[in-house]
């Protein structure tokens, strides 16, 4: 029986978009069918870069095209930026599966499901780009999500704290405002896609919250105190609001954690 970790590595290393999407679906189905084991003789390798298509060209965050909605080009730039985030999120989900061993089976089921949902989001957004006579790869993009994946590769607790609960949770804060701007512009098609993504991403952040707190409990650590410490360590000068309190609370944030985020936002 093939193991899940080797299958996840294949998903990670696939460069062509079509291949990555097909492998994601096939691996998820094989896992659901009980055809993949959690036994592996090889330890995970540090993956400097996952498999990605030749385009988009990756640049620094400050060089990504601005996302103004006042023109078709601006709308395409906004959607392209979100599409790139979702493509990266496929790799992030598979990296969580591949990298972190000896965890409960439910951990792997959760992250396999996230990989499937991120692939679905990517396809919805790419279809919307195509409707606007654009495509994924037409514009440059940045690689901030994967950079954080590398920095947190040593510990699933740190990964759960910082990638789902900080970077991905930012989408819970900003997406409702984007939807409102699109509503004013009468763009119901893009709104429909973003509403699906917002609903699912709330679940993804909740999964990150669950496993962060689970790992804290296993190690007898104070999750709220540790979350504050990790943010201070990894995000100097990079925390910004406003925060969507209701969405974040539904995704597993405590009142103390939200208060700590607000404090950091206003003191930096």
Give SS3 for 39: coil
152 pLDDT higher than 90: yes
pLDDT confidence of residue 72: 80
Beta bridge partners of 122: none
Least reliable range by pLDDT among 148-152, 226-230, 241-245, 247-251 = 241-245
pLDDT digits (tens, 9 = 90+) for 9-66: 999 999 999 999 999 999 999 999 999 999 988 889 888 889 999 999 887 766 676 6
- Ordered by start, the domain boundaries in the chain are 4-221
Q: Topology of 4-221 in CATH?
A: Ferritin (1.20.1260)
Between residues 208 and 148, the one the model is more confident about:
208
pLDDT band for position 238 (50/70/90)?
Answer: low
Distance between CA atoms of residues 233 and 225, nearest Å: 12
pLDDT confidence of residue 194: 97
Region 137-159: what's the mean pLDDT?
90
- pTM for the full predicted model: 0.94
H runs (alpha helix) in the chain: 4-13, 17-32, 72-99, 105-131, 144-151, 156-162, 170-185, 188-218, 223-234, 245-250, 255-267
pLDDT digits (tens, 9 = 90+) for 104-116: 999 999 999 999 9
pLDDT digits (tens, 9 = 90+) for 121-133: 999 999 999 999 9
pLDDT band for position 67 (50/70/90)?
Answer: low
211 pLDDT higher than 70: yes
CA 69 to chain centre: 24
pLDDT confidence of residue 164: 95
């Amino acid at each position: 029986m093939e193991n899940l970790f080797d299958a996840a590595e294949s998903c990670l290393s696939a460069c062509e978009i079509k291949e990555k999407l097909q492998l994601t679906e096939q691996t998820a189905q094989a896992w659901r069918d009980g055809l993949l084991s959690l036994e592996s003789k090889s330890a995970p390798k540090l993956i400097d870069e996952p498999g990605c298509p030749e385009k988009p060209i990756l640049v620094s965050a400050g060089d990504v095209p601005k996302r103004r909605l006042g023109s078709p080009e601006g709308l395409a730039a906004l959607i392209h930026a979100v599409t790139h985030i979702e493509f990266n999120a496929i790799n992030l989900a598979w990296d969580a599966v591949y990298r972190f061993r000896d965890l409960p089976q439910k951990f792997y089921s959760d992250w396999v499901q996230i990989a499937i949902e991120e692939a679905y989001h990517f396809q919805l957004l790419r279809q919307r780009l195509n409707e606007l006579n654009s495509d994924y790869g037409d514009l440059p993009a940045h690689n901030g999500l994967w950079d954080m994946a590398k920095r947190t590769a040593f510990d699933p607790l740190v990964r759960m704290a910082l990638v789902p609960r900080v970077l991905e949770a930012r989408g819970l804060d900003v997406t409702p405002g984007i939807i409102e701007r699109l509503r004013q512009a009468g763009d119901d098609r893009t709104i429909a896609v973003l509403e699906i993504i917002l609903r699912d991403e709330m679940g993804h952040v909740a999964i990150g919250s669950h496993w962060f707190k689970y790992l804290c409990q296993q190690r007898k650590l104070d999750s709220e105190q540790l979350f504050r410490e990790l943010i201070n360590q990894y995000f100097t000068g990079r925390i910004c609001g406003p925060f969507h309190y209701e969405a974040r609370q539904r995704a597993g944030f405590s009142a103390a954690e939200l208060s700590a985020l607000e404090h950091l936002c206003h003191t930096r």
